[in-house]
Amino acid sequence: MMIHLDTQAILLLCASFGQNRKSETPPLTLSEYNILASWLLEHNMTPADLLDSTFKQRLPKITIDKLNSDRLISLLERGVMLSLAVEKWTNQGLWIIGRGENIYPKRLKQKLKHLAPSILYGIGNQNLLSLGGLAVVGSRDVDEAGLNYTQQVVETCAKEDIQVISGGARGVDQTAMLSALEYGGTTVGILADSLLKTSVNSKYRPYIRENKLTLISTYDPDAGFSIGNAMGRNKYIYSISHYALIVNSSEEKGGTWAGAIEALAKIKDVPVFVRMQGTISQGNQQLLKRGAKTFPELPFQKPLTELLATDEPTPTVVQEASPSVPEVQTNDIYQTLLPLILKHLAQPKDAKSLSETFNVRLVQMQDWLNRAVEEGKIKKNKKPVTYEINQNDSLLSLLDPNHFR
């Protein structure tokens, strides 16, 4: 498989190649890559120009905001690692798409702007990425009625050629994806981890061969599960879809809740629907109050495409939130992630390492840390500046692992 030169450069700069960040030169985060991409645009250059040997010689004399030139050179010289990784991935049938390529999903760039991932790893029919469809998501722990409801909805999707998009997690996500495929539909799975392992799973492999299923990830194909990655990929599920359905959600906690709140606040022209039929979770009821819409009731009285289209808003330009945006838009994500942040602060850590762990911008992590300090939940150490949990018995309940189930 030939990889576009721009994509090769982005991989060298941003991919981890399965390496430990602590022992190797850390790859660029998305925000750092965006700084470099802006600089390249200003100088009428593309990422591929970074591969030119003469540019590497000039790089030490060039100042690109806060990016260290030695670090950039070290990353660009990982050619052997790139070759070995690409050979491994392509032997397994994977492909890689860079943000500058024509086949990169336009909806991701339109909805997310600079937050669109720089690299997509995937397997399956690339054309499915441009079809949009209905995102169907929900909590991992869902009752039988919720799973039956999911199956009925995606059966209709398959009959009406509405593609199903989900996250691949057990429960609602897997049921939605597999049921849609069994009914003859197409599916895009946006994974937070283990793309290589999932791609050879016997449940999915036949549908990949039939061009009915595409699996993608923005993380290293060998990456294991992390809460930060799972939270980070939620916006991609919504952005690549025309509509979204929350089958069930916990209230004020968990990835389904955080993803829905983020979509309602920042991806305003993707309607978010919630199931309000049968036994309704408290989370779904609260999402309705936050701006979600009631999903059409089963059995559908009209074609589902027609029912959904009546609620579709006029597309708007989504702008990045400025510092003056009211805090209420990010409050729920903060409350959801706080227990995990506290868990990571059993030992002192700095803001940068935490932002990389949770795959969020440094400025966002710093805001959350400052707020937690003000609330007395963590304490700030000086020389060097680190943060650690404020050892208070009243806080221990926040570390309950059941909080994220």
Q: What is the DSSP string of 116-148?
A: S-SEEEEEE-GGGGGS--EEEE--SS--HHHHH
Residue 343 resides in a domain:
yes
For residue 241, give the CATH number of its domain: 3.40.50.450
Residue pLDDT, tens place only, 218-242 = 999 999 888 888 889 999 999 999 9
Alpha helical stretches, state H, 183-281: 195-199, 205-209, 227-239, 255-266
pLDDT score recorded for residue 23 = 56
Alpha-carbon distance of 219 to 221, in angstroms, equals: 6
Alpha-carbon distance of 109 to 45, in angstroms, equals: 20
* Contact of 161 with 185, CB cutoff 8 Å: yes
In the predicted model, is pLDDT for residue 374 greater than 90?
Answer: no
Q: What is the chain's length?
A: 405
Residue pLDDT, tens place only, 273-292 = 999 999 899 999 999 999 99
Domain boundary among 275, 309, 343: 309
Q: Which residue's entry shows tokens 């039988």? A: 144
pLDDT score recorded for residue 354 = 86
Phi, psi (5° rounding) for residue 133? 135, -160
**Which range among 325-329, 339-343, 344-348 shows the weakest confidence by mean pLDDT?**
325-329
> Quick one: 249 and 386 in the same domain?
no
> Quick one: 169 and 298 in the same domain?
yes
pLDDT score recorded for residue 370 = 84
pLDDT score recorded for residue 353 = 84
Domain of residue 344: give its range. 328-404
pLDDT score recorded for residue 332 = 57
In the predicted model, is pLDDT for residue 336 greater than 80?
Answer: no
Domain boundary among 70, 91, 112: 91
Residue 108 resides in a domain:
no
In the predicted model, is pLDDT for residue 405 greater than 50?
Answer: no
The count of domains in the chain is: 3
| DSSP tag of 321 | P
> Quick one: 162 and 303 in the same domain?
yes
Residue pLDDT, tens place only, 161-220 = 999 999 999 999 999 999 999 999 999 999 999 999 999 999 999 999 999 999 999 999
> Quick one: 180 and 283 in the same domain?
yes
Residue 109 resides in a domain:
no
The arithmetic mean of pLDDT across residues 145-157, rounded, is: 96
> Quick one: 332 and 282 in the same domain?
no
> Quick one: 382 and 274 in the same domain?
no
314 pLDDT tier (thresholds 50, 70, 90): very low
Residue 100 resides in a domain:
no
Q: Which residue's entry shows tokens 């923005």? A: 218
> Quick one: 208 and 142 in the same domain?
yes
> Quick one: 58 and 195 in the same domain?
no
Residue 188 resides in a domain:
yes
Alpha-carbon distance of 328 to 102, in angstroms, equals: 37
> Quick one: 58 and 165 in the same domain?
no
In the predicted model, is pLDDT for residue 368 greater than 90?
Answer: no
For residue 365, give the CATH number of its domain: 1.10.10.10
Domain boundary among 51, 75, 91: 91
> Quick one: 279 and 347 in the same domain?
no
> Quick one: 295 and 342 in the same domain?
no
Number of Cβ atoms within 10 Å of the Cβ of 281:
23
> Quick one: 294 and 205 in the same domain?
yes
